[in-house]
Amino acid sequence: MADGLGVDGLVVRYPAAGGGVTTAVDDVSLQARPGAVVALLGPSGCGKSSLLRAVAGLEPPVAGDVTWDGVSVLDVPVHRRGFGLLFQDGQLFAHRDVAGNVAYGIAGRPGARARVDELLTLVGLPGYGRRDPATLSGGERQRVALARALAPRPRLLLLDEPLSALDRALRERLAADLRSVLLATGTTALFVTHDQDEAFAVADEVAVMAAGRLLQVDAPARLWRRPADATVAAFLGYEAFVPADAPAAAPWRAAGGRLDDAGGRAATGGTLALYPGALVVAPGAGVRADTAAEPGTGAPAPGGGGLVDGVVVELRARRGRTEVVVDVPGIGRLTAHAPVGWTAPPGAVVRMRPDPEAVAGLP
Amino acid sequence: MTTSLAPARPTAPAPVPHRPAPGGLAVRRVGRALGWVAAAGVPVAFLAVFFAWPVAAMVSRGFVTDGWLDLSGFVEVFSRPRTWRIVGLTLAQASVGTALSVLLGVPGAYLLYRCRFRGRGVLRALVTVPFVLPTVVVGVAFRSVLAPGGLLGFLRLDGTFTAIVAALVFFNYGLVVRTVGALWERLDPRTEQAARALGASPWRVLTSVTLPALTPAIAGAASLTFLFCATAFGTVLVLGGLRFGTVETEIWVQTTQYLDLRAAAVLSVVQLVVVVAALAVAGRARSRQDRALSLTEPVDATHRLALRRRSAGGDLVGIDRAAAAVTAVGVALVVVPLAGLVVRSLHTPSGWGLGNYVALAQPGGALPVSAWAATVTSVRVALDATWLALVVGGLVAVVVSRRPRAAGLRRAVGGLDAAFMLPLGVSAVTVGFGFLLVMDQPFGLHIDLRTSPLLVPVAQAVVAVPLVVRTVLPVLRAIDPRQREVAATLGAAPGRVLRTIDLPLALRGLGLAAALAFATSLGEFGATSFLARPDRPTLPVLIFRLIGRPGEATYGMALAASVLLAALSAGVVALLGRGRTGVVA
């Protein structure tokens, strides 16, 4: 019997607008060992929230099973499952103060007050007990919601995009806090998000979901280096795909590095997936002199010495560095990195070096 | 930390293991279903016994002869010129009254909900006063102003069509202002700003952007106003005399004066058709409004009232001036009758003074009880009616606020919602007389409920329930369903969710609901006029009897009693419904 959460062949359907049914979750199976934090990663509308709601008991599945320690919980009503839930907007009870919110799930139990103080300290809000939720910032509200969800010591905590409503800086800080709180309390958690940075920051395992189906489940690093297929890779941000044995892939294979690992698969007829930054405009390998004067006239060609030539489409400033969108023959459109302040006119041919760290091998 | 996850199996879907539900779960499910059945069943039973049955009994008198369905009553009643005249009058009064209420009310909504100025709060409260005033009081107030010797006696409007329409507008002006204003207040101003930035003048923005967005609220308010106008009873009975009336007053006349139950039954059915049509329009408008409102966020969209060209909102001067002028007319329409009533009530045969109020302590005009005694009766009855209406209406609101998964149940919930709107418009006279017919030995039991002290409160509660539902329901519907879901995941059983999530929030609407139920009951006249025992009249019934008697002294008493009743109704609503902007629609 598997310990912890088990989801087995789960199917969730909704009545569709036209009178038919939409299958939101399509035969999904996964497991989470006690203490593990599992992220469900997918684009919006992929069914990840429906899966979460079905696990919580808020949606009845049409097929499949949800188990805890091997025992089905489908017949256990929501309030007896012992599965906590954290919504995107916290859903604090406006008519109770912060302590009243945190104490909701442990009302009447001995030591409830001490537990409230303990949790408020844990989430970094000591002394906030008497505050009105309306006076809190978005980040503080999510911290209170987290404390409230953890108070009854749920055997599983379900988090539905808990950080999505916050701005970027706060989101990154809270993601780190969230992980340390989950580790400190040893809470098993299923964490739904559409943001891969968030998933990688918080989770031990990431499950990628699309169109109701689970595509891949892996540890973050492994998922990153070995996407199961092009769909997963594209969702992770890989933007171009080249057959590993094509001449266009040669520069990355020659550069080695991380590719040694992936290349083993690639050598037997796989695909290389290129991430933004798979090409880097090196200071010494800039715009080819013969094309800079007359943009668009020089024909790009595979450069010598493991370098790659591409035609500049546009330049973007991105977080303190320059990104160059280039067309590379045999590969297509790619985003290359360039030093700060580097510039070239559209149509110019630029010479770049491959970075094997921004490449993954697909089977 | 070790984790283990199995990716989705690429094989065929696993067969779903068959799992017999354990007995405990089945019992719990059945228990919860029974709870909902009881929550819906109590109000349905109430409506069936105290509304559907009396109405059916009354109507069947007209159509059942010797146990056979007999529709000849329709032909006979509709061959009378009098019937056509009354139906025409009803539609004409209601149409004109509605049109004027909307024309006056929409600018009022703009001024009171989109502009800021000193005294706005007072004006907002003032225009809602008529809505909670007893209909008899409204009639008496208008007569006190328009009658020869009154403030506006020189206009010679007493007993005219104009007077009746003015009273109907007086009554419904606040309803339009409040319903339209509540939406206008929440309308996202950025849509208008976008239109302005595209080069539209303020007037063009108003007509091409704002008013179309308000259409659902205006249509909803108009259909409810039409409904109240078409079924107006107390006001029209007092003001109309013999020449004017509505279908509702005609039902009363046919029942009490001519004892022609067949004609009354036919007219009840006619009224029902009009009411259902108006409610259908109102319901459709409301659902469109719910959808429209979900798109907007609460933003402060008010601007300082601009009456001078050089003030801050300078380009809105034209609109603001027009709105202020129209609103001045509306406010005058509200203030003049009320002021006239109060002034006239201080006029005694022996000069100015409080004599009329002093006289309220004595039985006058050959009536068996004093006005004070009638007031005590009214308050007692209203308290009973209020708790009845709160229990029944509260249960209906809780049931209707849920959105069950099954389509059949959803339709049933929608039907329940609609059914409890019917008492808003079905002739209260029909209900009252129906009570007299069925409450003598009901269900063959040898008891006579006609003498029960609960009879009048029950009849008044039937009339007040729709208002309670309409006030509490929006509050419950505004609760995010995820609040209940979060509570459940924190371990709260359904009962605790209801108690700790729904109830604390519903209590906010409950104060206003209680106030409206109380005021409705205090002023209820149609059904009560049949059911109140002659020796224990309620205050509106007493006032109606007083104005039917000659003599300046009794007239003065009627005026003083009207002021008392108006103050009681408005006071209770002001006290309990303070600061609530709930839409009474």
Chain centre distance of CA A256: 27
According to the model, what pLDDT value does residue A256 have?
66
Pick the CATH number of B85-345 from 1.10.3720.10, 3.20.20.140, 1.10.3210.10, 3.40.720.10: 1.10.3720.10
Token pair of A23, please? 């299958």
| CB B134 within 8 Å of CB B234 | yes
pLDDT per 10-residue tile (average), chain A, 363 residues:
87 80 91 93 89 91 93 90 89 90 89 92 91 90 92 92 84 88 91 90 92 92 88 90 85 67 53 89 60 43 69 85 89 89 86 87 82
The residue whose two tokens read 């609040």 is B483
Question: Which ipTM score applies to this complex?
Answer: 0.80
Q: Does B20 touch chain A (CB under 8 A)?
A: no
Inter-chain contacts counted by CB atoms under 8 A, chains A and B: 125
Which residue has 């418009």 as its token pair? Answer: B425
Determine the distance in angstroms separating the CA of A256 from the nearest CA of chain B, rounded to an integer. 30
| Burial class of A92 by CB neighbour count within 10 A (0 to 12, 13 to 18, 19+) | buried
pLDDT of residue B455: 86
How far apart are the C-alpha atoms of B437 and B61, rounded to whole Å?
A: 10
Q: Per-residue confidence of chain B (585 residues) as pLDDT tens digits?
A: 444 444 433 333 333 333 444 445 566 667 777 888 888 888 999 999 889 998 888 888 777 777 777 778 788 888 889 889 998 999 999 999 999 999 999 999 999 988 888 888 888 888 888 888 888 888 888 988 888 877 788 888 888 899 999 999 999 999 999 889 888 887 877 788 888 888 888 889 888 888 888 888 898 889 889 988 988 888 888 888 778 888 889 988 888 888 888 888 888 888 888 878 877 777 777 666 555 544 444 556 777 887 776 655 567 788 888 999 999 999 999 999 999 889 888 888 788 888 888 888 887 666 778 888 899 999 999 999 999 999 999 999 888 888 777 778 888 888 888 888 888 767 788 888 888 888 776 666 666 767 777 889 999 999 899 888 888 888 888 888 889 999 999 999 888 998 898 888 888 778 888 988 999 899 898 888 888 888 888 999 988 888 888 777 888 888 899 999 999 988 888 887 664 444 333
Q: Do B3 and A204 touch (CB under 8 A)?
A: yes
Instruction: Record the tokens describing residue B111, joined without a space.
Output: 């001024």
**B326-366, pLDDT tens digit by residue?**
999 999 999 999 998 898 888 887 888 888 888 888 876 66
The reported pLDDT for the residue numbered A67 is 94
* Integer Cα distance of B557 and B360 in angstroms: 6
The length of chain B, given as a count of residues: 585
Q: How far does A73 lie from chain B, in Å, by closest CA? A: 11
Q: Are A215 and B21 in contact (CB < 8 Å)? A: no
Q: What kind and span of H or E run contains A79?
A: helix A78-81
Interchain pair A63, B16: CB under 8 A:
yes
Closest-CA residue in chain B for A71? B19
pLDDT of amino acid B7: 42
Assigned token pair, A158: 């379900």
State how far the alpha carbon of B45 is from the alpha carbons of B40, B49, B178, in Å.
9, 6, 33
Say if residues A15 and A2 touch (Cβ distance below 8 Å): no
Strand order in the sheet with A21-32: A21-32, A5-15, A63-68, A71-72
Of B25, B483, B489, the CB nearest to A56: B489
Tokens standing for A283?
């200071």
pLDDT of residue B10: 38
In 3D space, the residue among A116, A61, A86 whose CA is nearest the CA of residue A187 turns out to be: A86
Taking an 8 Å cut-off on Cβ atoms, the answer to whether A87 and B13 are in contact is no
Q: Note whether B490 contacts A148, CB cutoff 8 Å.
A: yes
Please give the domain boundaries of chain A with CATH numbers for all domains: 5-225 (3.40.50.300), 238-362 (2.40.50.140)
Q: For residue B342, give the nearest of B550, B575, B133, B120 by alpha carbon.
A: B133
- Quick check: B3 and A79 CB within 8 A? no
Answer whether A152 sits within 8 Å of B16, measured CB to CB.
no
Nearest CB partner across the interface for A213, out of B8, B19, B28: B8
**Domain residue ranges of chain B, discontinuous segments joined by +:** 85-345
User: By the CB < 8 Å criterion, does B6 face chain A?
Assistant: yes
pLDDT digits (tens, 9 = 90+) for A128-179: 999 999 899 988 999 999 999 999 999 999 999 988 878 888 888 888 888 9
Q: Give the per-residue pLDDT at A189.
A: 94
- Which of A17, A27, A30 is CA-nearest to residue A216? A30
The enclosing H or E element of A2 equals none
Residue A220 CB contacts under 8 Å (≥ 6 apart), including other chains: A199, A200, A203, A205, A206
Backbone angles phi, psi at B542, to 5 degrees: -65, -45
Contacts of residue B139, Cβ cutoff 8 Å, sequence gap at least 6: B167, B234, B235, B236, B237, B238, B239
Q: B505–A33: do the CB atoms touch at under 8 Å?
A: no
Q: With contacts defined as CB-CB under 8 Å, which chain B residues touch A82?
A: 491
Residue B164: its pLDDT value, please? 93
Q: Is residue B482 within 8 angstroms of chain A, CB to CB?
A: yes
Find out whether A189 and A38 touch, Cβ atoms under 8 Å: yes
